[in-house]
A and B are shown apart, each in its own frame.
Chain A
Amino acid sequence: MPINRKHSTSPDLSSLLEGLLEANVNFILVGGLAAVVQGAPITTMDVDIVYDQSTQNINRLFKFLISVSAIYRRPDDKIIEPKAKDFSGKGHALLSTRLGPLDVLAFIEEGKTYDDLFQHTVEIEFRGHVVHVLDLKNLVEIKRFSNDPKARQRLPVLEETLQQLNEKSDDLNK
């Protein structure tokens, strides 16, 4: 029977990201934080990752999740801990950890998995590690066809960020 643990009300998403990197989990940062990292002036309350579903990686991910006291986020007060087998399927695990909310996704829109998305990532150095982040162009494409109202609401900011990034890149290439 899991013990009742109250997670911090002051999340530290940078440390959550750093923890995943230190645990050598192979993942791609997607969602709001991926946009933040690439310069979009938005605020996001969770970390969204798409992970590599190899057995070794699932084991590393699961070990990390235990270390941060991960439990499923639920509207009620029931405490349900994730199990390693939860990550070998095609579902999503929306978790709460002591460092903040973490969405562990097997795939994103159009069923795109870690392997599909890896070629569309940018490498960003962060606290001595390299984090693979879904590039802004693909993030914009995903949000453009998303049914999620929050995603559509953020779209103009992401588009403007992408435009300014492209202009900067054009200026550098001149």
Chain B
Amino acid sequence: MSGAMETKQTAEQSIAQRRGNPRARTLKLWNQMTKIKETDNSSGVDKGLVAMFLKMTPEERLRANDNAVRAILELRNAYQQKTLNKSRSQLTS
């Protein structure tokens, strides 16, 4: 029964693919994406991000790190300020 359904789906897919059906293309893309995601998750590392960094020059990588550090510190300061303001307002109320 399930084998027959699979055969029917496969036949439908192949007809749709031959006709250039957008649904089939989406399905194909989805399958490819799922495959990529599975590979990426095997080591828990974002392989795309690694590839992106490897395309950069060492100086660009250092700049990216500097920018990230600044952004992290800015966010930390903002969070600390918010926590401080919150405790101050709790004290006054």
Contacts and interface: CB of A to CB of B under 8 A. Distances in A.
B73 A10 contact: yes
Contacts, number: 75
Interface of B: 43-47, 49-54, 56, 58-59, 61-66, 68-70, 72-73, 77
Interface of A: 9-14, 17, 33, 36-41, 43-45, 100, 124-127, 156-157, 159-161, 164-165, 168
A17 B61 CA distance: 13
Contact of A127 (B51, B59, B66, B68): B59
B66 A37 contact: no
Contact of B50 (A33, A36, A40): A40
A103 to B, nearest CB: 15
B45 A157 contact: yes
A39 B50 contact: yes
**Most chain B beta-carbon contacts within 10 A, residue among A13, A39, A45, A127:** A39
Contact of B65 (A10, A33, A125, A164): A33
A43 B69 contact: yes
Nearest to A45: B69
Contacts of A14: 59, 62-63, 66
> Which 10 pairs, one residue from A and one from B, show the smallest C-beta to C-beta distance?
A160-B45, A39-B54, A41-B53, A43-B68, A41-B49, A14-B62, A37-B58, A39-B53, A36-B65, A124-B58
Contacts of A10: 70, 73
A44 B59 CA distance: 15
Given A14-B63, A36-B61, A164-B47, 16 more contacts: A9-B77, A11-B66, A11-B69, A33-B65, A36-B64, A39-B61, A41-B49, A41-B50, A44-B69, A125-B58, A126-B62, A156-B43, A156-B45, A157-B50, A161-B54, A165-B54
